[in-house]
Amino acid sequence: MSANEPRAAALLDEVHAVLLRQDYDGLAQLAASLEQELDHPSQTLDAEALAIIRRKADRNALTLLAVQRGIRAAVRRITEIRSVANGLVTYDLGGRREEKSSGSDLKARY
């Protein structure tokens, strides 16, 4: 943290580092500290300080969106893997989903 940089900006940098490290357990404590600092600033915030805070908050918002997209993609992939593990999925002529068992019908054919 530089001499002119507000404490809230330093906390936003810490939040960003935690997100990049994927250390989500550390977010709760940092969020509480950041909220406290924003509610009751430890120093006077001029226009320049507020602009710094805004820039870092915007950066963190973009990072959080990327994290969210990554988590959603991981959940979709896990769902796909579980679906395959549970058996073949096909669709009838009407477009309705049909679950096929994982090989017991094939064994019976041979």
pLDDT tens string 65-87: 999 999 999 999 998 888 777 77
Do the strands 97-99 and 89-91 form a parallel or antiparallel pair, or are they unpaired? antiparallel
Tell me how far apart the alpha carbons of residues 59 and 37 are, in angstroms, rounded to a whole number: 18
Q: What's the pLDDT at 86?
A: 75
Confidence of residue 98 (pLDDT cuts 50, 70, 90): confident
Tokens (6 digits) for 45: 């915030």
Describe the chain by its helix, strand, coil percentages, rounded to 5: 70, 5, 25
Biggest distance spanned by C-alpha atoms of the chain: 80
pLDDT band (50, 70, 90) for residue 18: very high
Percent over 90 (pLDDT), the chain: 62
Choice between 91 and 51, residue whose per-residue pLDDT is larger? 51
38-41-47-53 Cα dihedral, nearest 10 degrees: -40
